[in-house]
Structure 1
Amino acid sequence: MYGKLISTQGNVVKIQLDEEMDINKLIKFANGKQPTVELLVDDGRHITPDQRKKIYALLGDYCLYTGYSLNEAKLFFKSMIADFFHTEMFSLSDCSETVASQMITTMLEFFFFEDIPFHTKIWDSLPDDFPRVMMCIKTKRCAICLKEHADIHHVTAVGMGRNRNEINHVGMYIEPLCRVHHTIFHTIGAKNFMAKYHIKPIKVTPEIAKELHLGKQKSEELKNAE
């Protein structure tokens, strides 16, 4: 459980939990004994309580979907991060913010490509939109609601009558949207849409155009394949 420190008086601490406490779960964990809790105050240098909360939420979703235990899931993903980023094995109690961020992003990528469901509130609270939009583009999901079969929406207008397979997309801003959110975008406008959903499009670079097979890059690849 996570929360915010409200006040202290001597050795008495008042904390407001982020979510309502499940009394039945607390009784089960206490097993008839006086419950003991640990208070960790974020010092800004190590993994933050918010990051740890997100990681354990994702681990819980993974366990629920696969049937693995929490310890098995932690070992699996921690080993994955250590291998991917060439780091030593770490603890979720005192690892760096960077390692925690790498773990969250990598877990989300894994969930996406393995089609494992997770709580969208964790996804919505991520601060960096770039991997979010890129992951949605690669898997053809709406960047807002995660609905499948989303189309690439050009925030930078392509122009009437122009063939999207022939134009140069480099420098344009794009994001994947389902038909519902595509309609909302055009109804309320780009500025209001971004303010409402807190999502930013990505700017297409030559590398991204090649990776996503956009526009002229796609046409040239088709010609070379002939």
Structure 2
Amino acid sequence: MEFFGKLLSINGNRISAELDDDIDAFKLSKLSSGKQPMIEVSISDGRTISVEQRGKIYALIGDISDWSGYMVEKETPQIMKWKYLTETGKDEFSLSNCSMTQAKEYISWLLDFCFEYDVPFKTRTWDLLPNDYSMQYRCLKHRRCCICGRHADIAHLQTVGMGRNRRQINHSGFFFMALCRIHHTEQHKIGVMTFLQRYHIKPIKLDADDRKQLRIGG
């Protein structure tokens, strides 16, 4: 079993940590045959795959496992890795020591898989995902709220006034983000800048080709 989380403190040979998920004590006891469980602590050195990246990968695979019905400890990691290698033609790699770039590419592929097949994200998984240009673009493409992952509409950073024809607006000067009805309503209620600061969102600007591909305005 593998768990991921944050190291809170170190006192000699004693450590305190906060895990991303709860531990099933009964299951852990069975796996260790009732003995005191042993643990391995790995701290990222920034050169190979980071602990944070590995945590994101296993969180995404866990959600895929719940959605597909596979047992995450057994089938899903191997199946998803095999599917990734066959579809992309990438070389074999290990999640224990692959490069940060390889891990980033695998996370991107897993995200695209989840969006394409509408795999539901747990709240904890969604909170782990990066709030960057690539993620914002995926949310716009798949119409998923960049805050909660629910079905979303396209939100403009600048307000389109009442009575104006959206099809006649030049969208080249707009920034975009995907928001569900609840968060879109909140954005209008509290104001754009307050909303962006509250959720730490960076809307993205799209060129003409991107807007055409995403079916956003003209």
Same fold (TM over 0.5): yes
TM superposition shift of 1:124: 2.5
Q: What does residue range 94-133 of structure 1 map to in structure 2 within 5 Å?
A: 94-133=97-136
Task: Give the secondary-structure state (helix, strand or coil) at the position aligned to 2:15.
Answer: strand
Q: Matched residues in 2 for 1:8 and 1:147: separation?
A: 42
Amino acid aligned to 2:24: D
Amino acid aligned to 2:135: R
Q: Percent identity?
A: 42
Amino acid aligned to 1:192: T
1:179 aligns with 2:181: yes
How many pairs are equivalent?
213
Amino acid aligned to 1:15: S
CA contact (8 A) 2:144 2:179 kept: yes
- Which of 34, 37, 46 in structure 2 is aligned with 1:35? 37
Q: Matched residues in 2 for 1:143 and 1:32: separation?
A: 43
Aligned position for 1:58 = 60
Aligned position for 1:155 = 157
Please say which of residues 128-137 and 177-186 is displaced more in the overlay: 128-137
1:77 aligns with 2:58: no
CA deviation string 1:34-79 (max 9, x = no partner) = 4222221211111111111121122122122212243432233323
Q: Matched residues in 1 for 2:173 and 2:87: separation?
A: 30
CA deviation string 1:173-199 (max 9, x = no partner) = 111222221221112111110111122
Q: TM (normalized to structure 1)?
A: 0.83
Task: Give the secondary-structure state (helix, strand or coil) at the position aligned to 1:134.
Answer: helix
Q: TM (normalized to structure 2)?
A: 0.85
TM superposition shift of 1:156: 2.1
Aligned position for 1:16 = 17
Please say which of residues 97-106 and 154-163 is displaced more in the overlay: 154-163
Please say which of residues 203-212 and 81-90 is displaced more in the overlay: 81-90
Q: Matched residues in 1 for 2:98 and 2:153: separation?
A: 38
TM superposition shift of 1:132: 2.5
Aligned position for 1:206 = 208
Amino acid aligned to 2:134: P
Aligned position for 1:47 = 49
Task: Please tell me the root mean square deviation across aligned C-alpha atoms, in Å.
Answer: 2.2
Larger radius of gyration: 1
